Structure 1
Amino acid sequence: MSLTRLLRRCAAMMLLAAAAAPAHAEADAPASPPRFEFAGFGTLGAVSTDDKDVWFTRYGVNYPGKKDPDFSPDSLVGIQGSLRLTPYNDITLQGLVREDGGASQDPQLTLAFFRQTLAPGLSVRLGRVRVPFFMLSDSLYVNYANPWVRPPVEVYGLNPFNDLDGVDFIYNARFDAFDIEVHPYYGGGRIPFPQGKARLKEALGVNLGLSRGDFSLHLGHGEGTFTLERGDALFVAVSNILQRTGQGGVISDLSGTHGRTRFDSVGVQWDDGSWQLIGEYARRKTNRYAASAHGWYLSLGRRFGPVMPYMVVARQMLDEQFAAATLPSGRLATLWDVFLVSRNNAQRSVTLGARWELAAYAAVKAEVTQARPDGDAWGSYAPRGDVETTRIGGRTLNTFSLSLDVSF
């Protein structure tokens, strides 16, 4: 059975369950006036790399900065308000200010949905929600909830789409000693892209969550179409080269509006209050525009009162580039090679860090990451100067990160 048919059947079963619920349940509930709830969160983060010919970047999240230290990868401030209309429905809005992939710092509407309870344990949300590609998707912006300065880029850089305009269902149930959550979703989203745009369309997926005591498990699968229309200087130069050498057809594998993608993820977490173990694996499979890749990380932390030292080992690997051209040796071939390398974020890294609970709802985090991008990759870095002469692949790069996270 295809994923589309499976999700349609899941949605139909959920709607039938809602229809079977007592029709007078809401009428019998005691009336209560609308209630408004407000929350805020923020991160002030700084990043510095020891080699000053490169800068650290989170592709699809921020625009590579030209200052050292760089505050753009992690710093943000957000507010969220929820209006509970009745015990069975509410409206939620979330606004965020941070630098995006297009170097803009304009406010963003990151959540805007209406939620309705359909039956015990079953609700539907309509509007803009968080796209649940990863185990920690719900806390991506509220970084106080995460143990690190940022989620490992080797995994969370595989899919930069965070917001979904569409509909999702959330069903929670208890089976024996296990809590189960089933989360199907449908919709699309977009992100600013340097000198271009990227859009996710017709994304259809389902997540399964399973938890018991200190242990939780996440399983996710999604499919959809996507657009990646590039206009940056490197892409324009490569496009002109391909046209001049009679290989203009290759451009349709590099930029366009008819890409297809699928995304799979598995995550586990164990936390007994003293020890914390988190691991996640994700794979991005595409047919054009963006390279296919997969990644994983394993994080181990130990609490000593308000301080938790931790260590993270992570890896991302390239699966397929989806672009091939034959160019004469010289600058033309060099530009083509640089373009392919810029699309490859494969790297391995080891991070040592510590989190200090400074006060209630405030934490300071510091970490040092030693990363080694693959020989034909930029990893999570970008050249500060000439892209043709700055080599990143195969180098060992040390990055220091510091952040103050608050949630109120």
Structure 2
Amino acid sequence: MQKRLLSTALLPFLLALSVPAQAVDLTWSGFGTFGYTRSDQSFNYQRFISDDGTLKRDTVVGAQVDARFSQEWSATVQAKAAPSDHSDSQWQASVAWAFVSWRPNDDWLIRAGKIRLPMMLNTENSDVGATYDFARLPQEVYSIAPTTDVIGVSISKTWLGESFDWIAEAYTGEASTYWRYYGRNRTMETRSSGSWFLPIDMKSSGLVLTARSLEHIFRIGYHEGQASRPGTKTGAGFDFGACSAPFGASNCYNLSEGGVDKLRVPILTLGASVSLPAEFRLTGEYAKAKVESASRGLSRWGAYVALTKRIGAWAPYISYAKTKSTDEALGFYQRINSNATALPAPLRSSQTLMADITTPYDQSTMALGTSFWVTSKSVIKAELSQVRTGVASSFVDAPAGSDSGNRHINVFSLSYSFSF
């Protein structure tokens, strides 16, 4: 599936390059972030962050080529290297963008190929750390969508106004991606703790409206996704009944049979960034997703608010972010977790695995940081943040025999980002 999608994404660009070389105007650019992050806890947070320190959480490098064939036609390809999306130990080189653009006039833009979705305010430029002040975009919000890249088509229309320019963008496409799970005591295939990655095929369509001026930006979007698993059903729930022999006297939760071919995933997004007096800027975003499956904790909302102050080359900021699964999902996680503690030891790990599969989220992050802009395209960032988890948080790889809930995690981040 991935190879087919990649070939489809590159086809428009390759066709565009068949135009005679003398008619093509090529522009090269690049970007990168080298980031070091360390926490005060021995377990991993956000896949890589622990008291060992890591360069993997925020480091990414990429290059982009833009080819202009005429006033109306152009093409873009962007490649990047970053930690793998289907392994915690490997790095991955991938084609992030590969699309052809047609602009019949100043008001209309049509793109076809592999495109980044216009979801949150910084989704499209999330890999380019030199385009925003934060050391790290709030994971509580920016991780809600299963994927932000699709191979498909987008159409946007711009209306110029006296105070704001209005942009409406509609898109549709599909992608192959992975969803990461972590079992604190065991995985689906092994009897030891660890992560595994479930392949998912996504189809997504959406409509986004953006109002933009020189100082302010507002955005609202609705995205309708369909998730399916290659060659199998998805969206199954849990059964509660007698455990397998010789523990039939006890009751266990287990994944039920069946499911559906496609799982509906609606997502609502809201965002605003407003310029205030005295060089202050207030930014806030909100996203909400609904998923009806065993991983019911993916039905959650996330939001953050951040205040930034420009002082010459410095941009200190403070932010607060929170994400929470539905009360029903968190309550169900607690019931499975409580049931596990009442079972004999041989069954306990299989039941904590069932609890982990529900993928609960309940956490908040307070961050204090600053950016120092060395040039207009290079920036050094430092941040101290404290993460607090409530019932549980699937961002935390809890140690074996314990929970991800009721944790305090202090994180220090230092990075250098550039673009050219």
With the length of structure 2 as denominator, give the TM-score of the two structures. Answer: 0.78
Aligned: 1:301 with 2:308:
yes
Aligned: 1:72 with 2:56:
yes
Q: Over residues 20-76 of structure 1, what are the superposed CA-to-partner deviations in whole Å (9 max), with x where a residue is unaligned?
A: xxxxxxxxxxxx932101110001111111022x2221xxxxx54678211111101
Whole-angstrom distance in 1 between the partners of 2:290 and 2:102: 34
Q: Over residues 87-141 of structure 1, what are the superposed CA-to-partner deviations in whole Å (9 max), with x where a residue is unaligned?
A: 1011110001000232231310010001111343101111100022212111111
Quote the offset at 1:216 in angstroms: 1.1
Query: What one-letter code is carried by the residue in structure 2 that aligns with 1:321?
Result: A
Alignment of 1:119-158 (within 5 A): 119-158=105-144
Q: Structure 1 residues 154, 264: closer, same or farther in 2, change over 3 A? A: same
Aligned: 1:81 with 2:54:
no
Q: Once the two structures are aligned, what percentage of the paired residues are identical?
A: 21
Q: Over residues 290-340 of structure 1, what are the superposed CA-to-partner deviations in whole Å (9 max), with x where a residue is unaligned?
A: 320001100001111111110001111111439788767224356434543
- Pick one of 284, 287, 300 that aligns with 2:289: 284
Which residue of structure 1 aligns with residue 205 of structure 2? 204
Which residue of structure 1 aligns with residue 11 of structure 2? none
Aligned: 1:340 with 2:339:
no
- Pick one of 60, 78, 95 that aligns with 1:94: 78
Q: Over residues 259-281 of structure 1, what are the superposed CA-to-partner deviations in whole Å (9 max), with x where a residue is unaligned?
A: 21000010000136821211001
Q: Structure 1 residues 179, 76: closer, same or farther in 2, change over 3 A? A: same
Q: For structure 2, list consecutive stretches of 5 or more residues without a partner in the other structure.
A: 1-21, 181-195, 231-237, 245-250
Whole-angstrom distance in 2 between the partners of 1:299 and 1:200: 34
Query: What one-letter code is carried by the residue in structure 2 that aligns with 1:353?
Result: G
Q: For structure 1, list consecutive stretches of 5 or more residues without a partner in the other structure.
A: 1-31, 58-62, 230-237
Whole-angstrom distance in 1 between the partners of 2:70 and 2:126: 29
Query: What one-letter code is carried by the residue in structure 1 that aligns with 2:329?
Result: Q
Q: Structure 1 residues 224, 193: closer, same or farther in 2, change over 3 A? A: closer
- Pick one of 100, 107, 112 that aligns with 2:98: 112
Query: What one-letter code is carried by the residue in structure 2 that aligns with 1:97?
Result: A
Aligned residues, how many? Answer: 358
| Contact 2:133/2:371, CA 8 A, preserved across alignment | yes
Q: Secondary structure at the match of 2:270?
A: strand
Whole-angstrom distance in 1 between the partners of 2:376 and 2:106: 33
Alignment of 1:164-313 (within 5 A): 164-194=150-180, 195-227=196-228, 244=244, 250=256, 258-271=262-275, 274-290=279-295, 291-313=298-320
Whole-angstrom distance in 2 between the partners of 1:190 and 1:354: 36
**What is the aligned-residue RMSD (CA, Å)?**
2.9
Which residue of structure 1 aligns with residue 393 of structure 2? 378
Q: Over residues 340-363 of structure 1, what are the superposed CA-to-partner deviations in whole Å (9 max), with x where a residue is unaligned?
A: 356112201110001011234110
Which residue of structure 1 aligns with residue 24 of structure 2? 34
Quote the offset at 1:147 in angstroms: 1.2
Q: Structure 1 residues 158, 228: closer, same or farther in 2, change over 3 A? A: farther
Aligned: 1:395 with 2:407:
yes
Query: What one-letter code is carried by the residue in structure 1 that aligns with 2:320?
Result: V
Q: Secondary structure at the match of 2:91?
A: coil
Q: Secondary structure at the match of 1:107?
A: strand
Q: Structure 1 residues 258, 313: closer, same or farther in 2, change over 3 A? A: same
- Pick one of 356, 365, 378 that aligns with 2:372: 356
| Contact 1:299/1:311, CA 8 A, preserved across alignment | yes
Whole-angstrom distance in 1 between the partners of 2:319 and 2:289: 21
Query: What one-letter code is carried by the residue in structure 2 that aligns with 1:352?
Result: L
Q: Over residues 237-275 of structure 1, what are the superposed CA-to-partner deviations in whole Å (9 max), with x where a residue is unaligned?
A: x99x9984786553657xx85321000010000136821
| Contact 1:205/1:222, CA 8 A, preserved across alignment | yes
Whole-angstrom distance in 2 between the partners of 1:66 and 1:371: 13
Which residue of structure 2 aligns with residue 48 of structure 1? 38
Whole-angstrom distance in 2 between the partners of 1:153 and 1:353: 16
Q: Structure 1 residues 247, 335: closer, same or farther in 2, change over 3 A? A: closer
Q: Structure 1 residues 306, 180: closer, same or farther in 2, change over 3 A? A: same
Whole-angstrom distance in 2 between the partners of 1:396 and 1:251: 38
| Contact 1:271/1:277, CA 8 A, preserved across alignment | yes
Q: Over residues 168-211 of structure 1, what are the superposed CA-to-partner deviations in whole Å (9 max), with x where a residue is unaligned?
A: 00111113422000010001123244533343433111000012
Whole-angstrom distance in 1 between the partners of 2:257 and 2:273: 42
Q: Structure 1 residues 250, 156: closer, same or farther in 2, change over 3 A? A: same
Q: Secondary structure at the match of 1:154?
A: helix
